Amino acid sequence: MARPQQLTALASLCLVLVMLSVVFSPVTTSLESTSTVAPTEGRQDGLDVDCSGYSFEDLFEYDFALFELDILDDWATGDLFANAWVNGSNSPIVRDNLDGLFEGLPGGDNDWISTDERDAVRSIGPKCIADMETRLGMREGIPHSGGVDWNDFEFVEDGIGLDEVNLVPENHPDARSCTNFGAAADCKEVPTSTSDDMEITLEVADGQSNNVRWDQLPNSGVSNFTLAMNITNMSNAALRVTFPVLQGLRMYDFRVTDNAPDSGQTCDHINQPSFTYLGDGSLQVTQLVAFDRTQWDLQCNMFMDFTTEEPATNDIPAWTASVPSNGTKVPTSGEGTWPFATAAVGNGWATDENGWALQCTFDEAGWSVTNNVLGDFFVTQPASSTMATATCHAVDPLGATDENDSRTWVFGTLFTSTAALSEDGSGVVMSVTSAGLVDEFIFSARALQGEAMGAEGDAVTVSGAMATELSVSLDNIRPGAFGFKTEAQAANMLDFASAFDLGLVKPNTPPVVQVATNFNGENATWDEGQLQFSMYGLVSDPDLEAVTMQLTICGSDYQGFTIDGINWNVDVSTAVCMAYGLTDYDVVISATDESGGTTQVVVGINSPVIDDTPVAPLPSEPDTALPAASLLSVLGMLGAAVLVRRKPDA
């Protein structure tokens, strides 16, 4: 499939909003206004859309998408939930696409994304999704690898709910009131280049029971059936399908086919899904998809075969040599849900041809072990308990297990901690106390702020009932709230890693400004006309934030600074001083960082040296008329005054 070079404006809307409404082949789409937007209308509504047969993967860039489909008991309708996370450099692409959608409308395609545009997207999004294919098909009968009706599953417009998080970030430093004619009174907009993380969600609308439907299987899943999905260009996503409770339902075969393009690329990298039975007996299948988005000529189809027939044989899961031994301690951070093993590690603890799950029984109420969509292992700890012993079995999807071969592990809180800023605000003093899970452990901590991390510090040994203190650097951490990333190791304990927040805020340290002197020891150098002087020096911010500078001279502000790294220079006109008859040229230099911290420096400026040497008058022609000297002076001042912006009256 050739990568499209140009997509219509509606393409952007469809790509961004309907994470799950991905299809296989792009077709022409249209966005037409069915009514004229009156000047008093603040919202961009009244739009008609046609998104039939459209694919958002051709353009839209997301970091990870989760799709969850619950097949309802009637085997004809379902609840579809989708969430896409768009981070960093990908989020400006989304914002720019949405802004481009409204080309030709007030405020559209102007490199600013507004709350008016956001509201219009929410309004027309369900109409667009209802036209789109789901890329899912299901057919009863013998297993197959083709002939799928890709529109077997279809969306129900009334059941579609859309939401987004942070498309137009609140309190963004570059936010402004919308400037376009007809904008809503409360309309705000930010540049489309904004890189704040965002999310897009598709769900069942309030008051509705489903948002997808399909042709009901004649035997409601009792007979063999195949679930097919087109996964072309799904770069990093997970699909989780949960079926109704049906005795003996299991997946018994899986395969991926491709179109065998001339490039020789294949879909062999797609691994088979995992599956498990939930507490109520329903079958849940999870498929992970990682697709190279540059492989535009490769098309992949996935097929899962299901049956209710009992297998001829079913081996029980067996522990491997990598499983933690009996008595192993599993550390947590206290009340809450915490990861304790990645899928890559935990899945290697046992083996079974049909897959397996970890089932644990605790001696304390409220504890449980679960997996997320990626297969990582989590433990949930209640507030009422700090430690519990679990007896765990490896169980396959059909319930087979060896009741006589279990593993016993101890889960519990590893430590408690407090922290306080150091006196100068450049670091943190953290106090760590063992909670008694192990006798002794090695502990380290780093400051954490988004993806930024503070400098590494020394690890400490924590043991006994006494608190142990360690210093945590705030280097690389900007002013504002921050948390901690901690790690711990101990004998007979799984390695511990956790991130948490203790409610600390790094204070802002204002910039440091220095003014250099010239060869004469003066703070400024006057030009030949004595109407302008130059200054230079150094500026830096201890928190590594960007700095802006301005100065005040004769009651007016001037911002013509050039900053290169830590060096700054500025040329200052004194026309405004001359206009008001002022001869005090001292300036106040202000340097302000991104957090609003300001440093002011008062700098004395010597008056220019005036050459008093008499100048012989020029001979003049008898009839030559020259302007008066006072007029020449006024013109000179006016010409120079345009270089300085007068400070407005308070």
Q: Which CATH architecture has domain 512-609+630-641?
A: Sandwich (2.60)
pLDDT value at 590 more than 60 = yes
Write out the two tokens for 302. Answer: 């996935």
> Residue 588 has what pLDDT?
96
DSSP 478: P
pLDDT band at 615 (very low <50, low <70, confident <90, very high): low
Closest to 373 (Cα-Cα) out of 289, 254, 496, 248? 289
Query: Tell me: the pLDDT tens digits for 465-508?
Result: 899 999 999 988 888 899 999 999 999 999 999 998 999 999 98
pLDDT value at 186 more than 70 = yes
pLDDT value at 354 more than 90 = no
Average pLDDT for 373-394: 94
Neighbour-count burial of 270, counting CB atoms closer than 10 A to its CB (0-12 exposed, 13-18 middle, 19+ buried): buried
To the question of domain 415-506 being in CATH 1.10.287, the answer is no
The residues spanned by each domain of the chain are 9-307, 318-413, 415-506, 512-609+630-641
Cα–Cα distance measured from residue 15 to residue 9, given in angstroms and rounded to the nearest whole number: 10
462 and 468 Cβ atoms separated by less than 8 Å: yes
Neighbour-count burial of 217, counting CB atoms closer than 10 A to its CB (0-12 exposed, 13-18 middle, 19+ buried): middle
> Residue 632 has what pLDDT?
31
Tell me the CATH class for 318-413. mainly beta
Write out the two tokens for 79. Answer: 């609840």
Cα distances (Å, whole numbers) of residue 248 to 142, 310, 561: 18, 7, 75
Residue type, 483: G
Cα–Cα distance measured from residue 516 to residue 108, given in angstroms and rounded to the nearest whole number: 48
| Strand pairing category for 188-191 and 225-230 | unpaired
Cα–Cα distance measured from residue 376 to residue 373, given in angstroms and rounded to the nearest whole number: 8
List CB contacts of 451: < 8 A, sequence separation 6 or more.
Answer: none
How many residues are given for the chain? 650
Closest to 288 (Cα-Cα) out of 241, 226, 252? 241
Decide if 318-413 and 415-506 have a common fold. yes
Phi, psi angle pair for 576, to nearest 5° = -65, -35
Query: Tell me: the pLDDT tens digits for 249-288?
Result: 999 899 999 998 888 888 888 888 988 888 788 899 999 9
pLDDT band at 295 (very low <50, low <70, confident <90, very high): confident
pLDDT band at 48 (very low <50, low <70, confident <90, very high): low
Neighbour-count burial of 211, counting CB atoms closer than 10 A to its CB (0-12 exposed, 13-18 middle, 19+ buried): buried
pLDDT band at 538 (very low <50, low <70, confident <90, very high): very high
Residue type, 144: H
pLDDT value at 642 more than 50 = no
Cα–Cα distance measured from residue 608 to residue 342, given in angstroms and rounded to the nearest whole number: 72
Neighbour-count burial of 41, counting CB atoms closer than 10 A to its CB (0-12 exposed, 13-18 middle, 19+ buried): middle
Half-sphere exposure of 602 (CA within 13 A, CB side): 3
Look at the pTM and tell me if it is higher than 0.95: no
Query: Tell me: the pLDDT tens digits for 75-116?
Result: 999 999 988 888 888 889 889 888 887 888 888 889 999 999
221 and 243 Cβ atoms separated by less than 8 Å: yes
pLDDT band at 553 (very low <50, low <70, confident <90, very high): very high
pLDDT band at 8 (very low <50, low <70, confident <90, very high): very low
> Residue 610 has what pLDDT?
64
Cα–Cα distance measured from residue 260 to residue 231, given in angstroms and rounded to the nearest whole number: 15
> Residue 217 has what pLDDT?
85
Q: Across all residues in the chain, what is the average pLDDT? A: 83
> Residue 426 has what pLDDT?
84
